[in-house]
């Protein structure tokens, strides 16, 4: 799907709406990037359905491949304004705050403003708009506002209109300051007022209807009811914008002349409910637990409601909606304390906006403002013994003590007895399958990354580490079950630490979650240390396979794909990794380069290691030369990089078809330089074993985990395999054994290539056709890392 470019100088500018991990780097939401118009057209002209676009990050100059789904086009002048804001999170908030951004675009010298300095506000006048430090190498310079402070703001500035020796405007010393537009409140002048006034929160005295009033009005001689959303004047006539009670039209507003609207005596229970016939009559259902205005603990002993609390709301017709509190406070013209809730489904009417101002941000039709006392804790995640959730909260799944204990991973028969069955594994909720599958794969039957649970890393966030250990990994290994509330607790922390609100409800990819928690929150060392083209420092947590379509690779195995990718980009592993997480060559949820991929139960990385001894692929002696041309030669074996001793290299390259090859010299460790001929000493092979595979089909992630040494020892996990109840119910995670996988792993490659996926037994088709991420471990290195 093509993105409309924002061309102003031959470049197209974009802002990331979600975080993006690329190699060892993580670019948070709000990061700005660009690509040339020529590059844009080249990407989409021949491939209109391209899923990735190669862009340059404006903040630090890296070139990365970004999925087009998270790129929001912006005009050049908008990008320049946003670039003046230092933090990506504040930058994204300012981009979504459209009114302030539009005001900044129209602002110019001479306009009166109010500026924010150290959380205080002072009056001033704009004297300059433009860049104040230009780099000849930068594609775009940030735009700042030079403001002369007045009144109480005098002597609160930092300059006389100059910056780093360049004068941009003149004022008294201490009265000048340069700020991004996010620190400025623009005051419109008389010349900027439109003919039609925008809806106002405050109505003039004498106007009988105010925002929030319940009102009645006639449509085609039928009496309707609703809530006044805005009161404004157009010319000499007053109008009321009403959200009607009509079923299914909660996002449709009617603009009605004021003299056709009758104010009801009572204000409705909520500001944006699905209005029923009792609206305005005080008959909206009240929660059994009456929360105080301050959100103090209710009679039932539930904790106080706060930002990020999961809640349920009963609307006027008894309909229940569920969501997460994103904002608490007071709205104009509303005396009660209000909650801004992001709903699980598209049953709201806003994106977090109330009368032109954003109080929080969410997807359209997901936001709802209600009285705080109308919110109850979400019963689906409460530990009440008397509720229908006894299936989830029975005595078998009691909370674990908070002592820093550890439980070993489950193997062989222990894994079967603890993990197999319904209501086993990690319970999914609200698009959590990417996280559920990743956590189950990494911690159920292996300890290769248990260092994440205990090691005091430099950047380690103890709270996140404790939640991961005490609420997820330990319960999983002890009882075989993790409730959705525990995973939501982790998702809330990722939202707060990662400053990306979508982690609690949006679809994500496993690599985004793993890069965030490993790199940004826990701060662990990159799992992979790579060298590319002789340059080190290309470290990462997940390795993405990039390669051109190979005609001779119809049904490849993982070993072949890794070798092709390493050869294509001239990459080597600087050291043996303890954990090697590999993403398959597929983009998005639909495009797959290969319809089937064979799992390599062992991954031989000997020839991928930098400066390690290599074996001549002809005679077995120590290799001294490597040839990329021979790797593609069909005369040789289909797998394995091609390296030779000097004698065999001369013989191989004496053939007329290989005389143009250019072998490169290998580094031979000193202890292997003096050896007996013909490889009397074997070069040690470094192999890693497969322990889990994540798969995706129609936006849903599941995982296969190897729990024992035999080919039959595989289990299949789905966090949302079944469901109890409808909207008010919960998901039932399930773990099943899938020994049928071994039947296909034992088949010759040529026979397996002819197997039709629809004819495969059990869930084997998912493993071979839907693989998204393979996870390998080195038992030797896991002891040291």
Q: Which residues are catalytic?
A: 433, 700
How many angstroms separate the CA atoms of 346 and 348, rounded? 6
Kindly provide the b/e burial profile for residues 492-523, where b requires at least 16 CB atoms within 10 angstroms of the residue's own CB.
bbbbbbbbbbbbbbeebbbbbbbbbbbbbbbe
What would the two tokens of residue 84 be?
């003046």
Whether residue 406 contacts residue 342, with contact meaning beta carbons closer than 8 Å, is answered with no
137 Cβ partners below 8 Å, 6+ apart? none
Q: Which of 768, 769, 708 is nearest to 744 (CA)?
A: 768
Strands 625-626 and 643-644: antiparallel
Question: Two tokens at 115?
Answer: 């500026």
Pairing mode of beta strands 120-130, 222-234: unpaired
CB distance 709 to 601 below 8 Å: no
> Cα–Cα distance between 464 and 370 in angstroms, integer?
30
16: exposed, middle or buried (Cβ count in 10 Å: 0-12, 13-18, 19+): buried
**Of 600, 593, 527, the residue nearest 563 (C-alpha):** 600
The answer to whether residues 580 and 543 touch, using CB atoms and an 8 Å cutoff, is yes
For the chain, the straight-line distance linking the first and the last C-alpha, in angstroms and rounded, comes to 42
Return d(Cα 654, Cα 641) in angstroms, integer. Answer: 19
Cβ atoms < 10 Å from Cβ of 605: 22
With CA atoms as reference, report the closest residue to 363 among 323, 334, 328: 323
Task: Tell me the three state secondary structure of residue 474.
Answer: helix
DSSP strands (E only) in 131-219: 144-149, 162-163, 166-167, 176-179, 184-186, 214-219
Helix, strand, coil share (%) of the chain residues, nearest 5: 25, 30, 45
CB burial of 85-121 (b: ≥16 within 10 Å; e: otherwise) equals: beebebbbbbbbbeebbebbeebeeebebebebeeee
How far is Cα 263 from Cα 64, in angstroms, rounded to an integer? 57
The CA distance from 6 to 2, in Å, is 13
Which pair of structure tokens corresponds to residue 731? 């998901």
In the structure encoding, which two tokens stand for residue 471, read together? 């609420």
- What would the DSSP string read from start to end of 582-649? EE-SEETTTEES-S--B--SEEE-GGGBTT---B-TTT-SB--EE-HHHHT-TTS-SSS--EE-HHHH
CA-based angle 313:314:319, to the nearest 5? Answer: 120
DSSP annotation string for 503-517: GGTS---HHHHHHII
- CA distance linking residue 339 with residue 350, whole number of Å: 13
Where does residue 379 rank: exposed (0-12), middle (13-18), buried (19+ CB within 10 A)? middle
In whole angstroms, give the CA distance from residue 442 to residue 579: 10
Tokens 């040839």 correspond to what residue? Answer: 627
Task: Give the C-alpha separation, 34 to 54, whole Å.
Answer: 9
Chain center to CA of 732:
24
Only one residue has tokens 């290691």, namely 609
Q: How many CB atoms lie within 10 A of CB 621?
A: 21
Tokens of 324: 């997460």
């Amino acid at each position: 799907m093509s993105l409309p470019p924002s061309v102003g100088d031959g470049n197209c500018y974009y802002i990331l709406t979600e975080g993006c991990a690329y190699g060892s780097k993580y670019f948070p939401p709000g990061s700005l990037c660009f690509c040339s118009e020529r590059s844009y057209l080249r990407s989409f002209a021949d491939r209109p359905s391209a899923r990735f676009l190669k862009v340059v990050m404006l903040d630090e100059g890296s070139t990365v491949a970004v999925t087009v789904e998270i790129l929001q086009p912006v005009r050049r002048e908008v990008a320049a304004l946003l670039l003046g804001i230092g933090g990506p999170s504040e930058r994204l908030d300012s981009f979504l705050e459209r009114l302030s951004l539009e005001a900044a675009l129209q602002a110019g010298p001479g306009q009166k403003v109010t500026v924010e300095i150290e959380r205080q506000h002072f009056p001033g006048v704009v004297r300059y708009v433009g860049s104040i430090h230009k780099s000849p190498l930068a594609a775009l310079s940030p735009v700042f506002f030079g403001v002369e402070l007045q009144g109480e703001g005098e002597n609160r500035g930092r300059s006389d209109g100059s910056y780093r020796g360049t004068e941009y405007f003149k004022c008294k010393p201490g009265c000048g300051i340069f700020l991004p537009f996010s620190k400025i409140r623009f005051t419109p002048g008389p010349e900027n007022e439109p003919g039609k006034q925008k809806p106002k929160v405050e109505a003039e005295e004498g106007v009988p209807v105010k925002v929030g009033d319940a009102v009645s009005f006639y449509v085609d001689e039928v009496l309707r009811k609703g809530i006044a959303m805005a009161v404004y004047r157009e010319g000499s006539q007053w109008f009321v914008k009403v959200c009607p009670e009509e079923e299914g039209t909660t996002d449709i507003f009617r603009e009605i002349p004021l003299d056709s609207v009758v104010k009801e005596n009572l204000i409705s229970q909520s500001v944006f409910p699905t209005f029923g016939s009792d609206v305005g009559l005080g008959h909206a259902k009240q929660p059994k637990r009456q929360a105080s205005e301050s959100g103090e603990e209710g009679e039932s002993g539930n904790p106080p409601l706060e930002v990020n609390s999961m809640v349920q709301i009963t609307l006027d017709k008894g309909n229940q909606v569920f969501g997460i509190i994103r904002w608490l406070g007071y709205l104009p013209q509303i005396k009660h304390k209000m909650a801004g809730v992001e709903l699980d489904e598209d049953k709201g009417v806003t994106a977090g906006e109330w009368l032109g101002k954003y109080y929080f941000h969410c997807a359209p039709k997901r936001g709802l403002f209600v009285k705080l006392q109308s919110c109850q804790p979400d019963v689906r995640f409460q530990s009440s013994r008397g509720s229908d959730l006894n299936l989830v909260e029975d005595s078998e799944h009691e909370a674990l003590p908070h002592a820093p204990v550890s439980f070993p991973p489950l193997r062989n028969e222990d894994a079967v007895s603890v993990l197999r069955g319904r209501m086993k594994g990690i319970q999914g909720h609200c698009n959590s399958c990417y996280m559920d599958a990743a956590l189950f794969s990494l911690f159920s039957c292996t300890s290769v990354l248990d260092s994440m649970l205990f090691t005091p890393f430099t950047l380690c966030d103890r709270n996140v580490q404790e939640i991961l250990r005490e609420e997820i990994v330990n319960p999983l290994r002890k009882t075989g079950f993790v409730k959705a509330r525990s995973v939501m607790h982790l998702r809330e922390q990722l939202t707060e630490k990662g400053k990306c609100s979508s982690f609690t409800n949006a679809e994500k990819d496993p690599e985004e979650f793993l890069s965030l928690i490993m790199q940004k929150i826990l701060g662990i060392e990159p799992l992979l240390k790579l060298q590319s083209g002789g340059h080190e420092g290309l470290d990462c947590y997940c390795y993405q396979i990039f390669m051109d379509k190979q005609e001779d690779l119809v049904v490849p195995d993982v070993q072949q794909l890794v070798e092709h990718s390493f050869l294509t980009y001239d990459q080597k592993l600087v050291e043996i990794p303890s954990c090697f997480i590999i993403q398959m060559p597929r983009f998005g949820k639909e495009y797959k380069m290969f319809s089937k991929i064979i799992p390599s139960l062992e991954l031989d990385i000997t020839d991928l290691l930098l400066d390690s001894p290599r074996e001549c692929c002809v005679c077995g002696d120590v290799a001294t030369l490597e040839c990329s041309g021979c790797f593609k030669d069909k005369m040789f074996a289909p797998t394995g990089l091609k390296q030779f001793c000097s004698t065999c290299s001369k013989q191989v390259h004496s053939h007329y078809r290989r005389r143009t090859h250019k072998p490169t010299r290998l580094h031979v460790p000193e202890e292997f330089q003096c050896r007996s001929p013909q490889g009397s000493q074997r070069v040690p092979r470094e192999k890693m074993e497969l322990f889990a595979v994540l798969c995706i089909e129609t936006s849903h992630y599941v995982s296969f985990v190897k729990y024992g040494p035999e080919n039959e020892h595989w289990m299949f996990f789905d966090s949302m395999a079944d469901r109890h109840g409808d909207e008010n119910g919960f998901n039932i995670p399930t773990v099943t054994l899938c020994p049928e996988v071994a039947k296909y792993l034992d088949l010759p490659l040529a026979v397996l290539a002819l197997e039709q996926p629809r004819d495969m037994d059990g869930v084997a088709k998912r493993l071979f056709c839907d693989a998204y991420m393979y996870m390998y471990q080195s038992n030797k290195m896991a002891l040291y890392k």
